[in-house]
Structure 1
Amino acid sequence: MPTTKKEDFYFGMMMCFGMVVVMTFYNLIRNGLIGTIPLQGLLMQFVLGFITAFLLELFIVGPVAKKIALSLPYDKSKKVFVILSISFCMVIGMVLCMSLYGLVTAYFSNGLAGKPLLETYFSFVFNNFIFAFPLQLIIMGPLVRFLFSKFVKCKKMTESFG
């Protein structure tokens, strides 16, 4: 887990990168768009999604999610409870915000095909949450924490002893 602002920045960047890659492909597959978008468009979509997600995580969702998660009544001496509560709050916040981002991009790229705005948004939220929550808890969270401790925390320890 990150302990400094710099580590928090790296951890957030790693987590956003992984989640945006997987969620981008999930949404492309779910909407039948794999193979219909040229590579340049796919890269542009990824870059814009990553920048949006990272800025949200860094300035809005991350601070709010941590504040909420750490204010909940549970035993904070158990690291696993802290990780799970922060992850849960982060997924909820990011799904709500990034589904709105997806709604805006869908509207400007091809309209909503006559579907009601609110219904479409809640459909995006539902479909993204059912995929993002287990992805975060089971795959991406543990993977990023492992890579973070291996490369970022390890590097910091090596520098302080060197």
Structure 2
Amino acid sequence: MSALPTTKREQVVFGLMMCFGMVTIMLLFNLYNSGMIGKLSLMEILLQFVICFVVAFAVESILVGPVAKKVAFSLPFDKSNKLVAVLTLSFFMVVGMVLVMSFYGVMTSYLTNGLGGRSILRSYGSAIGHNFLLALPAQLLVVGPIVRAVFGNVVDRSKVSA
């Protein structure tokens, strides 16, 4: 299992890397799903990315991360099994982030383009379903392993050179 963050600085770097990967995948998915790719300029997409990244990192750092850790590690499982710990925490992080960021996405859509006659509640429920179906496998199979591997290499190199 790759290195996990142990200091506050490492947690910030790790969180930034995770947010970058997940926001990239989820933003592209939602732009494609809403038919906005090709309608927005590259600068508009980059602006969307920056705003979404800042919001996601703040939400993860201040709200979802602490709550997910508290819930995940209150469950009765062998905390020394890193794989189970990572999977459990990842699951609760995805649930929390999908709930909050889907609301962010629906509200952003509502304020900029409307919801095409659908209610906010229906749009939110639909967004949660679509986002969860992509976010969980993206986190468990793609972004999480890549970020942990890259982070592990960075941490290992800094410890060797220190």
TM-score w.r.t. length of structure 1: 0.96
Q: Secondary structure at the match of 2:73?
A: helix
The alpha-carbon deviation at position 159 of structure 1 amounts to 3.9
Instruction: Determine which of 14, 18, 38 is the counterpart of 2:17.
Output: 14
Matched, 1:91 2:111: no
Instruction: Say which structure, 1 or 2, has more relative contact order (CA 8 Å, 6+ apart).
Output: 2
Residues 1:157 and 2:159 aligned together: yes
Residue-by-residue CA offset, 1:9-67 (whole Å, 9 max, x unaligned): 00000000000011110111111111100111111100000000000111110011011
Aligned to 2:107: 104
Q: How many residues align?
A: 159
Question: 1:157 deviation in Å?
Answer: 0.3
Report what 1:74 is aligned to. Answer: 77
Task: Show CA shifts across 1:79-138 (max 9, x none).
Answer: 001000100000000000000110111011101111011011000000000000000000
Mapped to 2, the partners of 1:9 and 1:77 lie a distance apart of 23
Name the aligned partner's letter for residue 98 of structure 2: V
- Could you tell me how far apart the structure 2 residues matched to 1:67 and 1:95 are? 18
The unaligned stretches of length 5 or more in structure 2 are none
**Distance between the aligned counterparts of 2:159 and 2:5, measured in 1?**
13
Q: Describe the SS at the equivalent of 2:105.
A: helix
Kindly provide the amino acid, as one letter, of the partner of residue 49 in structure 1.
C
Separation (CA, whole Å) in 2 of partners of 1:159 and 1:86: 31
Distance 2:50 2:161 in 1: 32
Runs of 4+ in 1 over 4 A off after TM superposition: none
Q: How does 1:8-157 map to 2 (within 5 A)?
A: 8-151=11-154, 153-157=155-159
Give the Cα separation in 1 of the matches to 2:68 and 2:14.
15
